Each structure stands twice: as structure tokens, then as C-alpha cells.
A and B are shown apart, each in its own frame.
Chain A
């Protein structure tokens, strides 16, 4: 609530000088005006708050409510069933087995962060065409996920682009990349790396560029190599952003959806938790159970984030 008093304070100054010179004891400002002044920030916040509540908290509230019902998604009838759906989720191990698929994406996010970090570091130094490279690296993130799914479907086709490229290098095989669970999940995770590296890259680049240039100069004068500069200036300087990326990577891996949904529809062992939830809700009309699954996923992600924050607490970076 500090904002309110901060904004209110300067407003008092002109009022005092503009007060009519009638003398007499100065009375406190009329309550209406104070109220208005107190309300001002809330008035500014009204529109965003209304949007936030309508499109974030009401749906989440709805979802939590549905998770306690046996609603089928269409019928006007729904009855409260208590914790039935949660009991089902807890007692059906096959519903959790799909989390193993997330491990592929988790491994991929590690690769993705390393690649992004490497390029962000290299491109933060003076390099020819570095803006061009920045553009090229960021570009995939701008492409619509559905389009990416379709493009990579051709890419992984039996005898498709990937097989042709491999053939140039003499390792030509025509194989069904999406044909068995291991290679399908690896391929899909690869697509996700291709797509999201750009985002990590931009975050890292921004953080690196906010490190004062004098530090590099000083380091260079002292004869530090590029690796030493990275090790002692860049890496500690961008730690909070790396931490953030790790959180995003973990929660992202747990809730992978569009790439596998579009490319394989969850066939051949590529079903992720979210795909399974969508199928429960929209194929088998178990909206209640699916909502409960969604709540569970939300809780898991909150928990992971909390643990992660506890392990690497948010610390101020002080390089100088």
C-alpha cells in the first residue's frame, strides 16, 4: 500500500500554498477528496484487474469447482462428488506414468539452456553480423506453434527432409522418426529446443548486456581470457535470469502440449500430462476428472517452483 501514500504526498504541496488567505485554523482536507485520492490508483487498476479476474481467476475458480463434480462438460446436471476425482487420480498410477515423457523434455531444456547461454555469450562480444545472428536465433520463437508442428511433420517424414540431409552425409537411412516411442519423443523434444532456444537466448542476452562494460574492459586489461570473463563476470551476473529459465524449463516440461498434440496427437507413447487431461475432458467427457488433473498439475508446478526458490534464493547481484 506504499504506492498510495507516495502518490498522495506531492499533491499536498500545492494545496497548502493555494489555500485562501482567510486565516483561522487549517482544517484537514475534506474527506471526499482524500477518498478520491486514495481511490485513484485503484481506478487506474480497475481495467487490468477486471481483465485479470475475468480471464484468470474466475476460470481457475471454475476449474477448481468442476474438479469436485462429476460434470461431463455439456449436461446441465452436475453433482458434487467431494474428493472423488482426486482419489481417482491418486489411485490410478497410469495417469502419472505420462510424466516419464516429461523427462525427455526436461533433458531437452537443459540442452536448450546451454545452447542459449553459449550463443548469448558469444553474441554479446563484438562480432561481425551479430544482429543478423540474433535475429536468426530468435526467429523460431516468433513462428506459430501449429505451423511449426506441420513443418516438422514433413521434416521427420519417412524419407523426408531429415533423412535427405542425413543422406548427404552418407549416413542415409530412411527411418520413421516418429515411429517408436524413444525416437518420437526425442524428435519432439528436439523441435521444442528449436522453438524455445530463442526465448532463453534473448533473456540471457538482455541480462548480459546489462552488465557494465567497464568490467569487461578492466578484465581485459588484467589479461582475462574469454572463458575467465564468462566464468567470473557473466555467469554470476546473470544468475537470477538463469534461475528463472530453469523454473520456466521445469514447469514447461511438465506441461508440454502443442508440439506433440499437433504432430502425433499423443500416439506412440508421446502423450504428455496435458494431452491426457485434454483427452479425458473432451473425448471421454470427464470434465470433472480432467479439472482435478489440471489442479494437480498446477499444484505440482507451484511445488517445484517453491522448492527451486528455496534451493537458490533470490539474491541481489553485486558485481562491483
Chain B
């Protein structure tokens, strides 16, 4: 028996030593990933990690790669589509094997970018050419180029809203609630659909930070113990609106079993009137309308109901950013792919998204915004790192669905508490975390 115990002890000790021995990687070089001057010169096989499993499966990405090969004949592009992109890539980033080109996972802290990704150029040079550069800029160097961006707002069914007698976009949260009430009274549609079960659509509300007061730096201002949910704050307006929608019985009856895929058809057919999403959803909703025989032109998009000087503002937020693995042996070819994909592939136009390239036009999907003179504001990301640190320390999750799920539960009486109490608690947690992180 004694021997056995000694042996187990030895095993455990060995295991712990092995564990402690791991970690610590060599310092990366910091050399800029430049595309070769002559496209025909770029060569090698690159692996692109992507979250778009749908586009890889239906061959769309392969078509892009074939198109790319016309100008870069010696580069072979391979795709690896990951269903749980965030979860898998963040774990793989503990090794050196995470593709040549990848989308920067949200979990990577901004200050760590130089250790994982090769710099793509200076902030000045890339910032003039591309939108959303400051999201990935560290110490004057840019580490990622956005695949595209999205404007934030409400997708709605125009026919249903017309039937309810609302033809103008509401300009205040009060008017918005009034419009939803009219939808409830005059039509059979569910006025607002939360997508509570699938949860991630609830995070879209956070992208409105800035839309309320027309301030591109609104997110930056959250860094520090600033009580983001105080009366008059952006998040107070945003989360109160969601609370009052649910509290007023204007959302679906059973949020706990909602279904995202089904919800597209429901909005297209007018069974749901409104949902809060990014502008990327418009194409998907129109597709759903076409498939179910409804009119795609009924799908409309409106900004957050708040105005400044008689004008609406819509925040432009970046989608995933493409980066080059700092350990990649094919940096030139990888960079060539990123440049080509961003500028020449036509991907963002096809997705109906805001192009990363400044010179490219806004997509047709945002026609309503352009026609109505909605001001597009590019969200400043200068202090995103600090904001995220506070957010994680407070365990609130501005870009996670959990606290809004709890907000919805509180609003419909499934959990105790009221709005002000709930928001005050968030403020308290935020401020305490900010103070602790700042010390």
C-alpha cells in the first residue's frame, strides 16, 4: 500500500511539474507583413481560419480563392471553417498553429496583439485607407483590417408598421414605445422580438452606445468609474428602452424558447414587427422574405430612436478583423490575400455591409439611412482595451448577452427587482471594478 501511495504521489508531482513547465513563448519579431510589390511573385500555401462555415460549405469561399488566383497564381489558399470560432481559436492561440490569416478573436486583449499578429502598417497610413483601423491599433501600428462593418439599428417590417399607422421613424424612445403599442393594438404581429433564447442578438443593443447622443467616442468614455447606467447616460437610455418594451408586454410571450432561424421568416411574413440587429441582417431577412413568398422590399431598417439637432445618428461598428499570424511563414502571401479580399473581392458589397475601404460606396441596404441623412459615426476604439478590462473585471459583459437576459427576466417578472435597482447594481459593479483595475 505504501508503495502505491508513493507512486501516485510521484505521478501527481510529475503531472504538476509538466504543467508548470508549459507556457512562455519566444518573442515574436515584429516585422511588418507586407504584400509583395508584384502580385505574381507572391507564393506559398496559406491557411485562412474563418467563422463563416456557411460560405466555406457552399463553395463561395473557394470561388473567391479561384478569383484571387487569377492575379496571384502562385498562392494556394486553404480555408478552415470553425463552428465555434471564438472558443476554438482562443485555445489554439496558445500554440503557434492558428492559420496564416485569421479573424482576431474577441478574447485576445488588445495589448497582446503584437505578440500574436504581425503588424500590417502604421495607423496613419492604413487609417487613411480603411475604416475601423483604431480597433486594432497598438502603439501606432495596425494589426488587423476589418472584413466589413455594420450600422446598428432596428430591422422592421414596413408593411406591419404602415398597418399600425406609423410611417415616420420615431425620434424618441417614447415615440418608439408608442409605435410598438400601435402595432400591438392594430395588427396581429408581435411588436418586438427579443431572440432571448439565442441570446447573442441582445448584444446588438450595446452597439447603440454613441447613437443616443451622437458621440463617436461614447464607448471610450466608459473607461473608469463613470456609472455608465446613471440617469441620462447612453446605457441608461438603451437598457431602459429594452426594459420598457418587455415590461409593457410588447415583446414575445415566451422569450425562453425563441428561435433565431425561425425569427427571420416571422419578420419577413409580418408575424414579428421589429428586431434590434446590425445592418448585416437586412440581406438575411430579405432572403427569408423571398423564400417565404413575402415582399423583400417590406424589410426596412431604422436608427435608434434618438436625435440630435433633428438628425439621427447610427454607429458603425467593425465586424471581425483579419490579421496575419505572427508565426506564419507565409506573411507576404497572407497579406496579399487580406488586401485582395478587402478591396477586390466584392465581399462586403455582396453581404450588404459597410465596406472597410473608405473610398467604397455605402451598400444599397443602407439606402434608407443615406436618403434620410442619417449621420454615420465610426465608433472610436481608442480606449476599448481599458473598457474591456473593466467590463471583464465587473463580470457584466457589455457585449455578452447575460446581463440583458437578466434585464428581460426582471422586466417580465421572472426575477425580482425593478429597473432602477437593476441599473444601480450594474453601476455599482462597474465602478468598483474600474477602481480596482485602476489601482
Contact = CB atoms under 8 A, between A and B. Distances in A.
Contacts of B19: 58, 61-62, 64-65
Given A74-B94, A156-B257, A268 B409 contact: yes
Contacts of A226: none
Given A65-B20, A73-B107, A176 B256 contact: yes
A49 B75 CA distance: 45
Interface in B286-334: none
Given A61-B18, A74-B94, A285-B107, A268 B256 contact: yes
A284 interface: yes
A24 interface: no
A179 B397 contact: no
Contacts of A64: 16, 19
Given A179-B255, A181-B414, A184-B256, A267 B409 contact: yes
A268 B406 CA distance: 7
A284 B257 CA distance: 25
A283 B87 CA distance: 10
B402 A283 contact: yes
A53 interface: yes
A214 B108 CA distance: 67
Interface string B81-104: 000001100100110000000000
Interface string B1-12: 001100000011
Interface in A265-311: 265-269, 279-280, 282-286
Given A61-B19, A65-B16, A269-B415, A157 B254 contact: yes
B219 interface: no
B255 A74 contact: no
Interface stretch (B22-30, B47-55, B238-246): B22-30
A45 to B, nearest CB: 11
Contacts of B413: 180
Size bracket of the B interface: 35 or more
Contacts of B14: 53
Contacts of A65: 16, 19-20
A35 interface: no
Contacts of B38: none
B256 A283 contact: no
A50 B16 CA distance: 15
A1 interface: yes
Size bracket of the A interface: 35 or more
B136 interface: no
Contacts of B402: 266-267, 279, 283
Given A61-B19, A284-B392, A75 B405 contact: no
A53 B415 contact: no
A269 B402 CA distance: 11
Nearest to A63: B19
Contacts of A266: 402
B236 interface: no
A61 B253 contact: no
A72 B115 contact: no
Contact of B25 (A57, A76, A154): A76
A95 to B, nearest CB: 10
Contact of A61 (B16, B90, B393): B16
B230 interface: no
Contacts of B199: 265, 267
A74 B94 CA distance: 6
A285 B437 CA distance: 15
B115 A76 contact: yes
Interface string B39-65: 000000000000000000000000000
Contacts of A267: 196-197, 199, 256, 402, 405-406, 409
Question: Most chain-A CB neighbours within 10 Å: which of B254, B255, B393, B402?
Answer: B254
A178 B196 CA distance: 12
Interface string B387-429: 0000011010100111001100100111100000000000000
B257 A74 contact: no
B414 A179 contact: yes
Contact of B256 (A61, A62, A178, A284): A178
B112 interface: yes
B256 A78 contact: no
A285 B82 CA distance: 20
B15 interface: yes
A178 B25 contact: no
Contacts of B370: none
B360 interface: no
Given A61-B15, A74-B94, A285-B392, A179 B254 contact: yes
Contact of B23 (A76, A156, A157, A179): A76
A81 to B, nearest CB: 13
B128 interface: no
A176 B11 CA distance: 51
A160 interface: yes
A62 B105 CA distance: 23
Contacts of A60: 15
A40 B25 CA distance: 40
A187 to B, nearest CB: 10
Given A1-B3, A265-B199, 13 more contacts: A1-B4, A74-B90, A74-B93, A74-B109, A176-B255, A265-B197, A267-B196, A267-B197, A268-B405, A280-B395, A283-B400, A284-B392, A285-B107
Interface of A: 1, 53, 57-58, 60-62, 64-65, 72-78, 153-154, 156-158, 160, 176-181, 184, 264-269, 279-280, 282-286
7 A-B pairs closest in CB distance: A158-B254, A61-B15, A178-B256, A176-B254, A57-B15, A61-B19, A62-B19
16 contacts: A64-B19, A65-B19, A73-B107, A75-B109, A76-B24, A77-B112, A153-B257, A158-B254, A176-B255, A179-B414, A265-B199, A267-B256, A268-B409, A280-B395, A286-B392, A286-B395
